[in-house]
Amino acid sequence: MGQEQIRRWESGALAHAVTDPFGQGPVPWLRGSETYFDDTGQVVPWYVDAPQQSPAGDPSNTPRVPAPRAAGGPRSADDVRRQIKGFISTGAVSPGEAVDFHITVDPPQEFSVDIYRIGHYGGDGAAKITTSPRLSGIVQPPPLAADRTVSCHHWWLSWRLQIPSYWSIGAYVAVLTTVDGYRSHIPFTVRDNHPADLLLLLPDVTWQAYNLYPEDGRTGASLYHAWDEQGRLLGESDAATTVSFDRPYAGAGLPLHVGHAYDFIRWAERYGYDLAYADARDLHAGRVDPTRYRGLVFPGHDEYWSANMRRTVELAREHGTSLVFLSANTMYWQVELGPSPSGVPDRLLTCRKRRGPGRPVLWREIDRPEQQLVGIQYAGRVPDPHPLIVRNADHWLWEATGAHEGDEIEGLVAGEADRYFPRTPLPEHEERILLAHSPYTDSEGALRHQETSLYRAPSGALVFASGTFAWSPSLDRPGHVDTRVQRATANLLDRICKRD
């Protein structure tokens, strides 16, 4: 891969060895009729634009970011020119509270903010809730960087949105659009303390770990990547150990793998499940009481957990609250959350990985393997999608799915996979079963296997782990839907929610 072609899909793929296949996009404004392919024939995600070509012999002009797709329609802002980029400094909020937007616009001009709520909405994927007044945009100062940590905490407040008391809780996206047609996005969560059957936890800690903003070939850094002085993308050993929530998300402004959460939300709201919403940082800070819910749902890739997050979820399980993990590689790294330079709590995320002094930060290396909570744990990456092989098809999870013993669900083992580790302690359980056992070949050509797990804790709580990235997309993503997975997930949630 040429150094001159550093683009969002490439850094995302390098960071995670998998491209997130949004298909037509998780919400209406991202849908389009064109399908894009890279040089190897792979489908390029929605947030990628065709690269510009540099004049021959002029490497200094080689672009490292996407170019606008087409004149006449909305164009994606990038992290070099920063046509419009922004973030919120307030985290999840409740109705009656305010969301503070910090936005840079270059060149200075007016812009507007459309607020969408993610949901089914008759198949549209989202509904527009409100639009801001026309706002005056300014060029904010460049991001600050210290020891690979990039922060925009010094940006001026651009707009304060007071959340009306009648707004529904849920996952929201702010769509920023300049007068001259550049666009970017900011995700945020509206939550409250009313009881519900299921608490959906959006993995904002993991989203930030992968955020390479600004993806400019110079300054940006995540827990996986940074750039050197020549604009070369460096690997994990040279990446940041601390990243800030006080900055936009790279590229189009939505996190890598955000679609996994949106897939579940669209499906669950379509079928009327009673959902509450919160972010992982709410779990960390004790802002939600998970024991008030019948189940906690972790809908997407949720790799980075603080000690507070784990302790809170373990206590919930012991209280009888069920746990549903719909991805893989859950709770792999232990992290710490700290205050911003101005003292705002939980705005800095630190994970030393294998660098620097101190104890290891893999949960399994401090004798607290993730299998002791999840029931299985991370086994490795899956270079190419493989079928999930149904096991124990007479179990109630597979009831009415039409699945039989040994059936193959095509493409359901993808991205990353978990399995049962026989030499690793299991959690205390009354019952335990493996519901899939799926061989696949890793990047070295070795034969591995994935497993899907379910166990019942002594408290009565059910703990389900899909063991694959592809479970949530199969619920409601165009081109990935599988009715067997939809029915199996409904069987699980209905039992947790005590539905007939």
pLDDT in tens, the chain (500 residues): 333 333 333 333 323 222 332 233 334 434 333 333 344 444 433 333 334 344 444 444 433 333 333 444 568 888 989 999 999 999 899 999 999 999 999 999 999 999 999 988 888 788 889 999 999 999 999 999 998 999 999 999 999 999 999 999 999 999 999 999 898 899 999 999 888 999 999 999 999 999 999 988 899 999 999 988 888 888 888 899 999 999 999 988 888 888 889 889 999 999 999 999 999 999 999 999 999 999 999 998 999 999 999 999 999 999 999 999 999 999 999 999 999 988 999 999 999 886 666 666 899 988 899 999 999 999 999 988 999 999 999 999 999 999 999 999 999 999 999 999 999 999 999 999 999 999 999 989 999 999 999 999 999 999 999 999 999 989 988 778 999 999 999 999 999 998 65
- DSSP class of 482: -
Residue 161 sits in the same domain as residue 310: no
Residues whose CB is less than 8 angstroms from the CB of residue 406 and which lie 6 or more positions away in sequence, other chains included: 389, 390, 391, 393
Residue 231 — left, alpha, or beta (φ > 0 → left; ψ -120 to 50 → alpha)? left
pLDDT of residue 419: 98
Of 244, 267, 299, at which residue does a domain stop?
244
Q: What's this model's pTM, rounded to 2 decimal places?
A: 0.88
Q: Which of 413, 332, 430, 324 is nearest to 377 (CA)?
A: 332
Backbone angles phi, psi at 358, to 5 degrees: 110, 175
Residue 320 sits in the same domain as residue 422: yes
Amino acid (1-letter code) at residue 70: A
pLDDT of residue 105: 98
pLDDT of residue 267: 95
Dist CA 332 CA 298 (whole Å): 14
Q: Which of 23, 26, 112 is nearest to 74 (CA)?
A: 112
In a domain, residue 172? The reply is yes
The residue segments making up the domain with residue 116 are 3-244
Residue 297 sits in the same domain as residue 235: no
pLDDT of residue 500: 53
Residue 314 sits in the same domain as residue 425: yes
Cα 425 to Cα 114, 371, 372: the distances in Å are 49, 7, 6
Question: How does strand 275-279 pair with strand 198-202?
Answer: parallel
In a domain, residue 212? The reply is yes
Residue 300 sits in the same domain as residue 228: no
Of 191, 214, 244, at which residue does a domain stop?
244
CATH of the domain at 316: 3.40.50
Of 227, 244, 261, at which residue does a domain stop?
244
Question: How does strand 98-105 pair with strand 84-88?
Answer: antiparallel
Backbone angles phi, psi at 488, to 5 degrees: -60, -40
Q: Which of 66, 32, 37 is nearest to 49 (CA)?
A: 66
Residue 184 sits in the same domain as residue 319: no
In a domain, residue 321? The reply is yes
Q: Say if CB 328 and CB 416 are below 8 A apart.
A: yes
Structural domain total, the chain: 2
